Structure 1
Amino acid sequence: MSSRFLFPTLLGALALMGLVGISAYLILQACALPILQDRVSSCRTPQAISTAETLQVSTLRNTDLQRRIFELERELAALQCVKAPPDPNAPLTPEGWDNRDLAMLYGCWDLDSTYRTRDVDTGTIRTYADWQMCFDLEGNGTQTMRADDGTLCEGTVRGAFQGEGLSLIEPGNLACDDGGYIHQRQISCVPAPQGRATCDTLQPETSGKAQVGFARAPS
């Protein structure tokens, strides 16, 4: 009698073990699914790898460019900006007079009227057809006068706005290369047409007066 129940019991045990195995497999599969998905998602395509490498190169290049910009800005900050001088051939302008701008004198000027002097000891009269003044940006300058007999007189002069006019100030008598000199003058200039000026000169010691034009010297 016992042999009849052995086979069905064995089959049932085997079936039960199979069910348990299948259930365990299904449970493990369900648990492993997220892990499998993570593994799949972590695998990058060649295109993604290329894009990442390009981004890295661009980031490094951007860092280098920022460093170079910083270096250039530091070099620029160390530079001293120098204002360009005005045109040494420019005429006098109403704006320059209104602003009392001595920089408009920059360059050389001809005092173009014939200027004459008389030697107080000998009475000799000399004509100075060549009279020139040259100034820097601050109105400091030099002047030369050459007489018709070749005598050369040289000295300093300074421009300054006084009152409504421009004064050309001599520090003293103008020395000449023949041992003589031209008495110190008071020179006052006012604007004239075409970028020129008209200057009145007065020698206080001799009461000598003259009027001369003041215009750009040919370049």
Structure 2
Amino acid sequence: MSVLNDLKGGFVASCQPVTGGPMDHTDIIVAMACAAVDGGASGLRVEGVENVRAVRAKVAVPIIGIVKRDLPDAPVRITPYVADAKALVEAGADIVAYDGTSRPIPDSRKAIIRAILNGGRIAMADCSTETDAKTALDDGATIIGTTLSGYTTETETESEAPDLALVTAFSRLSGFVMAEGRYNAPDLARQAILAGADCVTVGSAITRIEHIAAWFSAAVNSGAR
């Protein structure tokens, strides 16, 4: 697949500002996306149908589209409905990511994958464990991401390091491996590729100014003390 060839050996910039923050505007997200591509990003991860549509009009690189929802009766957030997947396909996402864990989800994962594939797009499972990845591949997903390792009850951790061991475990499976989650420094991204990732997604370290500023603030305050 040409989309996977475009991503392989590169990195995806996740252009998702802090919700409700000063950067959370479509025109700013488009600017982030264009700047990331200018800097060498092989692809983009964008949240929201209208944001995907706006970014698609400005870039040629692959876009991973997601819809995030805070649901009152389910712990999942990423593309929980078939309608979300269909809307992202229509908006121009090349890849649609969904929650690929075993947690309860409003619409079945198989139905979400079917909607993605019927739209001629690639399905990406945001996983937390090797079991998640195996299930996703069996169900028809092509990309398996380590996105949710550390963010589910089963995998919860206080570590701030990315799950490189899971990347290596995924690399032994048949899917395209996306390392994602806590890759907040260039060397960590390099380590992900060495661990067996086909591509790496980087978010906060590139596009969340609030987080970057907080890192520096904490470090400087520690030095001052």
Q: Which has the larger radius of gyration?
A: 1
User: What TM-score does the superposition give when structure 1 sets the normalisation length?
Assistant: 0.26
Bigger relative contact order (CA 8 A; separation at least 6): 2
Q: Which has the higher helix share?
A: 2
